[in-house]
Amino acid sequence: MTAGGEGVAGVGPSVEAVFREERGLLLAALVRRFGDLDLAEEVASEAIEAALVHWPSDGVPPNPGAWLMTTARRRAVDRLRRDRTYAARLAILQVEAERAGPAAPSTGDGELPDERLQLFFTCAHPALSAEDRVALTLRCLAGLTTQEVARAFLLPPATMAKRIVRAKKKIREARIPFRVPGADELPGRLPGVLQVIYSIFTEGYAASAGPDLQRLDLAEEAIRLARILRRLLPGEREVAGLLGLMLLVHARHAARIGADGELVLLDDQDRSRWDRTLIEEGQGLVIVALTGGPPGLYGVQAAIAALHDEAADLATTDWPQIVALYDVLLSLAPSPVIALNRAVAVAMRDGAEAGLALLDELAGEPRLSGYHPYATARGDLLHRLGRHRAAADAYRQALGWAGTEPERAHLRRRLTECETAADGSSEDVSSGDRDD
């Protein structure tokens, strides 16, 4: 395991599951105890490294979280004893936090919210830029690797690493206390927290790299945190929208993977495998999200997901309504990724040529460079139009950008289909349409 806690490769599945479950709780508790993110990360990593040494021979302890916390706390105390200046600075930060920090808000049933969720709000401090707040929380509190965080932002890993270091430096130099914000501060911090939770879910739903298409542990963790947030802020419609969106999308996860681990596209999925309980819950949350005020970013996305889940198949999907919702989404948050998704929906409504024209307008967008869904979408539309050589070129580009093996295997199959079709036909490269 690296000092930054990048992974636990090589350990047994049971031990790895413990690390995955306990790391976030451990780090959150250490930050609250010592008020220093770097110290918390370092001693948390040292505790996990110690577990890697002792647990394989001694066995996983009955309470692994307590074992890790005790070990980490001892390492932190030892370090503070050796560095009196460091200890004095932490003491000042803790005093300031105690003076400024209100009691933790109640969830309404006497239960305090998850400690990690409290720290999500803490890291969404307005002294940090919006991008730095999300990056820091994803990396340090949600446990995503720097590469995974970079993928969430469509940025190079080196750029994201600098951003995370900058955020930590800002916290240290501005002496920002780690505390639960007061009730009057929560709404201003909410958009950053929602973005963090959704970024975690996105990495879980479509992993950025590795042998698996999905990381269900991350997706389910994001949903769990969103449920806590919904209890904490029941009057916030965008919280309902986010939870509804994730439930409606997660409801399809079992059908997205074939028997051999291959990617199954939406139009080929066995919809009887979709989780109807999650869909019904998500549909109810869409109504909450879109009632009582202007639509929000997550409420609109949840409405799009609901239209997909309600359709019996691809042909009966309400594509005009989906395109209209993407128009609303673009007005709320202009984004090349939203524009890409809208272009695909337009292709389903108006034909492949119309969708391809919109994709071509996005060709120079730097944030789509290296984003394999863009190249894949172009390949799919070109393939539908019979322009097999151009489609093959697009699939090759997507293949170079795709991060998971199921995605690469799918693209290799599409590439082979296009190459075979191109070898057996003569294409009209001016229009690409073939009526024969």
Q: Are residues 123 and 59 in the same domain?
A: no
330 is a domain residue: no
Residue 262 has pLDDT above 70, yes or no: yes
405 is a domain residue: yes
Which has the higher per-residue pLDDT, 348 or 224? 348
Q: Are residues 33 and 89 in the same domain?
A: yes
Predicted pLDDT at 99: 46
Predicted pLDDT at 39: 85
Q: For residue 402, give the DSSP letter.
A: -
Which of 233, 248, 267 is the last residue in one of the domains? 233
Residue 353 has pLDDT above 70, yes or no: yes
259 is a domain residue: no
Q: Are residues 123 and 182 in the same domain?
A: yes
- Structural domain span for residue 396: 342-425
Give the separation between CA 360 and CA 339, rounded to whole angstroms.
Answer: 11
Amino acid 299 reads G
413: CATH: 1.25.40.10
Q: Are residues 118 and 229 in the same domain?
A: yes
358 is a domain residue: yes
Q: Are residues 133 and 213 in the same domain?
A: yes
Which of 71, 100, 129 is the last residue in one of the domains? 100
342 and 323 Cβ atoms separated by less than 8 Å: yes
Give the global pTM.
0.77
185 is a domain residue: yes
Q: Are residues 207 and 143 in the same domain?
A: yes
Tokens 């965080």 belong to which residue? Answer: 149
Which has the higher per-residue pLDDT, 99 or 151? 151
Confidence class of residue 381 from pLDDT cuts 50, 70 and 90?
Answer: very high
84 is a domain residue: yes
Which has the higher per-residue pLDDT, 430 or 124? 124
Q: Are residues 144 and 202 in the same domain?
A: yes
Which stretch, 94-108, 231-245, 299-313, 414-428, has highest mean pLDDT? 299-313
Amino acid 400 reads G
354 and 345 Cβ atoms separated by less than 8 Å: no
23 is a domain residue: yes
Within the chain, what is the greatest distance between any pair of CA atoms?
A: 81
Identify the CA nearest to 244 among candidates 304, 302, 202. 302
Which of 47, 70, 100 is the last residue in one of the domains? 100
Q: How far is CA 30 from the centre of its chain?
A: 24
Which stretch, 141-150, 196-205, 334-343, has highest mean pLDDT? 334-343
Q: Are residues 44 and 147 in the same domain?
A: no
Give the separation between CA 364 and CA 360, rounded to whole angstroms.
Answer: 8
Q: Are residues 15 and 54 in the same domain?
A: yes
Residue 68 has pLDDT above 60, yes or no: yes
Percent of the chain with pLDDT over 70: 83
62 is a domain residue: yes
How far apart, in Å, are the Cα atoms of 236 and each of 121, 166, 243, 285?
15, 31, 11, 11
Count of structural domains within the chain:
3
Q: Are residues 141 and 59 in the same domain?
A: no
